[in-house]
Amino acid sequence: MSGFLKIAIRNLLKGPVTDPYPFGKTFIPEKLRGKLKVDASICTACGTCQEVCPSGAIYIKKENDVYVHTTWYNTCCFCGNCEFFCPTGAIKLTNDFHTANTKEEKFKFVTIAAISEKECPVCGNKFVPATLPLIEKSYPHINDEIKNLMKLCPECRKKAAFERLYQ
């Protein structure tokens, strides 16, 4: 018993090890996987997150000319698959772990990002353009020409690129 007595006395001197959370501070690591943050300006509404989500917590729906990206936390298991597979880096998991909610709030417990379609300056068709972080992955150097082409819809872009080749 003497072996444990030493530990017990040391513990007595050390004081409590538990944190008085929520009344005091507690240890929250930077990398803790909590609620999502979706950056609508980077997202291209490609649907990868919806496909890889194991629990079906992500749902993307088109409403008029806006793609609504909804994450419902009552199904989310905070696995971070969406963050890992997101091709643009628009989804980031924050370390906000506060997920207690009342029954009335059940269906309101969501994160919403609205990705609006842009108008093509040439033909006026609406589309979701590729965003800069996505283009940066494909091209090492991005010049103004690429940036201008990004603004065009796929059809007009094909045309513009073809014309550029034969001029």
Partner 1 sequence: MKETLKRKIIAEIKERLDKDKYDIKDELDLYGNIQIWLKLYDRKDILHIAQIVKDFGGRCVIISAYKKDDHHVLVYHLDIDGILLNVEVELFDNTVDSITPILKSADWTEREFKEMFGIKLLNHPNPKRLFLDESIAEGILGEYMPLSQAMNGAATCSMWEKIESERHKDEQNN
Partner 2 sequence: MSKITKIPIGPFHIGLEEPIYFKIDIEGESVKNVDMINGFVHRGIEYLAMQKNFFQNLILTERVCSLCSNNHPFTYVMAVEKIANIKPTKRALYLRVVADEVKRVASHMFNLSMLAHLVGFHTLMTQTMEAREIVQDIKESIWGNRMDMSANTLTGVKYDVDKEQIDYILKRLKELEPQVDEIMDVYFNNKIVKARTKGVGVLPYEDALRLGVTGPTARGSGVMNDVRIKAPYAAYDELKPKIIIEKDGDVYSRTKVRWREVKDSIRLIRLALKNLPQGKVVLQKRPHIPAGEAVSRSEAPRGELIYYLKTNGLQKPERMRWRVPTYMNWESLRVMIPGNKLTDVAVIFNSIDPCISCTER
Q: Which DSSP symbol is given to 107?
A: G
**Site pattern 121..160 for partner 2 (x: CB under 8 A):** ----------------------------------------
**Residue 110: which of partner 2, partner 1, none does it interact with, CB under 5 to 8 A by kind?**
partner 1
Q: Which of 25, 31, 108, 141: binder of partner 1 (CB under 8 A)?
A: 108
Q: Which DSSP symbol is given to 88?
A: S
Counting residues that bind partner 1 (by CB under 8 A) gives 13
**Residue 1: which of partner 2, partner 1, none does it interact with, CB under 5 to 8 A by kind?**
partner 2
**Residue 112: which of partner 2, partner 1, none does it interact with, CB under 5 to 8 A by kind?**
partner 1
Amino acid at residue number 3: G
| Cα distance between residue 79 and residue 55, in whole Å | 10
Beta carbons of 94 and 34 less than 8 angstroms apart: yes
Q: Does position 81 bind partner 2 by CB under 8 A?
A: yes
Helix (H, G, I), strand (E, B) or coil at 160: helix
Q: Does position 70 bind partner 1 by CB under 8 A?
A: yes
Tokens 């194991």, located at residue:
54
Q: Does position 9 bind partner 2 by CB under 8 A?
A: no
Locate 132 and state its tokens: 């800069």
E strands along 24-99, which residues?
36-38, 58-63, 66-72, 91-93
Helix (H, G, I), strand (E, B) or coil at 118: strand
The distance of closest approach from Cβ of residue 95 to partner 2 in the complex, given in angstroms and rounded to an integer, is 8
Q: Does position 27 bind partner 2 by CB under 8 A?
A: yes
| Cα distance between residue 35 and residue 98, in whole Å | 8
Q: Which of 11, 55, 116, 148: binder of partner 1 (CB under 8 A)?
A: 55
Contact positions toward partner 1, by CB under 8 A?
54-57, 59, 61, 70, 72, 75, 107-108, 110, 112
